[in-house]
Structure 1
Amino acid sequence: MKRHLTKTQRIFTDIILLLSSVLKTKKTMFKYIFIAVMVFGLISCDSKPKLVSPNAINQPAPGSQKQENSMPSADDQEVHQVEANEILHTERYTYLNVTEGKRKFWIATAKMDAEKGKKYMYRGGLLKVNFESQDFKRTFDTIYLVQQVIDSQQHPSGDMPASTETTSQSGKFAPAPKIEGVVKLSALFSNMAKYNGKTVKVTGEVIKVNNGIMGRNWVHIREKGNEKDLTITTNDVIQLGENVAFEGKIAHKKDFGSGYFYDLIMEEGKRLK
């Protein structure tokens, strides 16, 4: 049966044949063949254990289970506050066993200084199930690979209340007030560049509220028939499930730093009644 050689093996074979034809003595020939073998070994060998970089979380982790053990990424806008229970370090990464509410799990990120008992914040992350670590010779049942973990005391908002979400509460609150000149959310998302920098009015149902992040409240609203939700920063305190009207300035491709990036956001929103 004919054997198929890899590209590296073919190059190596060609080198041996070339050396055999040009070198006159067997002693010299064996000397150079030995050198070629050593070079080949150095090129093809890479035995150092590796861990997938949290900055490349969409790639399968070397030494871990296959990609089917990866779950979808967490909501890009979801903020988590956790407390560190246990900390493990490798040469390049830090693993933290954390608690969020009543739930305990692991997260992994680029190497950082961390302390047991301190509170940290992160956003998003890729869930890995049965993640095998060659560094620690163990399998993590559940672990999130995250890009950045921030000390909650160093974050502009300080301690951050856990995010809250609503299930369907339709009918519990009064309809949004009737406001003239309202722009539909579907129109905003279809023409983001057009509305960039403009002050507009919008209405919708509140589906998520994160209070006290970076000195402001973050309200997510959605209109019926539109799956996309608009994030609004405001000083107003809003309840989940409320039908609201807001006026504020639209920003397209807004980057607040620390991983807070939005394709579309309304800033300095004021509730209209």
Structure 2
Amino acid sequence: MRLIAVMLLGVVLMTSCVRKKKEVVEPIDTSSMVHEVAVKKVLQANAYTYLQVAENDQEYWIAVEKMEPQLGGTYFFADAMEMKDFKSTDLDTVFSSVFFVQKLSTSKAASSPAMANPHGSAQGRQSVELDQSIQLEPVKGGITIGQLFASKAEYAGKEVLVRGKVTKVNNEIMGRNWVHIQDGTDADGSYDLTLTTDASIAVGDIVTMQGTVAVDKDFGAGYFYHVIVEGAVVK
């Protein structure tokens, strides 16, 4: 009997540990363009800060690039991209639902829907500022970012080789890393190219990457890319 009791206690403890790995939240109310939230809990990972927040009678999780929020503080953000059953490798935790936002603001006026997309901006607008100091020659056998945007239909579904300087990185979203590069070329104001990759890349790196072009790619929730290179690898 004592052995059985010990075994039952072990099962209870193991079940308790598993339950702690799954964060359950109610769906966010997306009827408001700007959300005002109070921070209830903070979890720090390597690249992201996860916050359990309260908005009116709702509590849910959001994730932003690494920051030091004030516990109990009030913040604002615009539309967010929801990831369901999202696993944070750093925290070894699965969130039933977490909303990725690019930036929390202490001012409601500073929040706008375009700030919410962790990869780019709504409707394909360029969210990364043009770095005029970047002037790179295309790699042999490759194309420039300007050429890609100017002739996107020609390259749709094809592999391309591009070279650029990394201007922004968002890691571990939808099971991949999102890398923005520029090379000094553009087409009608489109100068920042987004690539998805498994590679670990840092802002400021100059990289040559090869991947498959997708055009007019819609990930839902207003996150749309006129051109994106998927499954890119460093060459």
Report matched runs for 1:65-144 at 5 Å: 82-89=50-57, 101-103=67-69, 104=73, 105-107=75-77, 120-123=98-101, 144=111
Question: Could you report, residue by residue, the CA deviation over 1:110-160 in whole angstroms, capped at 9, with x for unpaired residues?
Answer: 9xxxxxxx883234699895xxxxxxxxxxx5574669x9xxxxxxxxxxx
Report matched runs for 1:14-29 at 5 Å: none
In structure 2, how many angstroms separate the alpha carbons of the residues matched to 1:237 and 1:97? Answer: 26
Aligned residue in 1 for 2:230: 267
In structure 1, how many angstroms separate the alpha carbons of the residues matched to 2:110 and 2:56? Answer: 13
In structure 1, how many angstroms separate the alpha carbons of the residues matched to 2:113 and 2:129? Answer: 25
In structure 1, how many angstroms separate the alpha carbons of the residues matched to 2:217 and 2:179? Answer: 16
Aligned residue in 1 for 2:180: 220
Aligned residue in 2 for 1:240: 203
C-alpha contact 1:233 1:267 (8 A) present in aligned 2: yes
- The structure with higher relative contact order (CA 8 Å, sep 6+) is 2
Question: Could you report, residue by residue, the CA deviation over 1:144-186 in whole angstroms, capped at 9, with x for unpaired residues?
Answer: 4669x9xxxxxxxxxxxxxxx9998x89xxx989732111100
SS at match of 2:56: strand
Report matched runs for 1:249-268 at 5 Å: 249-257=212-220, 259-268=222-231
Output the amino acid matched with 2:155: Y
Query: How far apart are residue 87 of structure 1 and its match?
Result: 2.6
Query: How far apart are residue 99 of structure 1 and its match?
Result: 8.5
Q: Over alpha carbons, which structure has the higher Rg?
A: 1
RMSD: 4.5
Q: Unpaired segments of 5 or more residues in structure 1?
A: 1-51, 58-79, 111-117, 130-140, 150-164
Q: Unpaired segments of 5 or more residues in structure 2?
A: 1-29, 35-47, 81-94, 117-127
**Against the structure 1 CA distance between its residues 176 and 184, is the aligned structure 2 distance closer, same or farther, given a 3 Å change threshold?**
closer
Counterpart pick for 1:209 among 151, 162, 169? 169
Query: How far apart are residue 106 of structure 1 and its match?
Result: 2.8
Percent sequence identity over matched residues?
A: 31
C-alpha contact 2:130 2:192 (8 A) present in aligned 1: no
**Against the structure 1 CA distance between its residues 123 and 193, is the aligned structure 2 distance closer, same or farther, given a 3 Å change threshold?**
farther
Counterpart pick for 2:194 among 231, 235, 239? 231
Output the amino acid matched with 1:248: G
Aligned residue in 1 for 2:157: 197
Output the amino acid matched with 1:102: E
Aligned residue in 2 for 1:182: 142
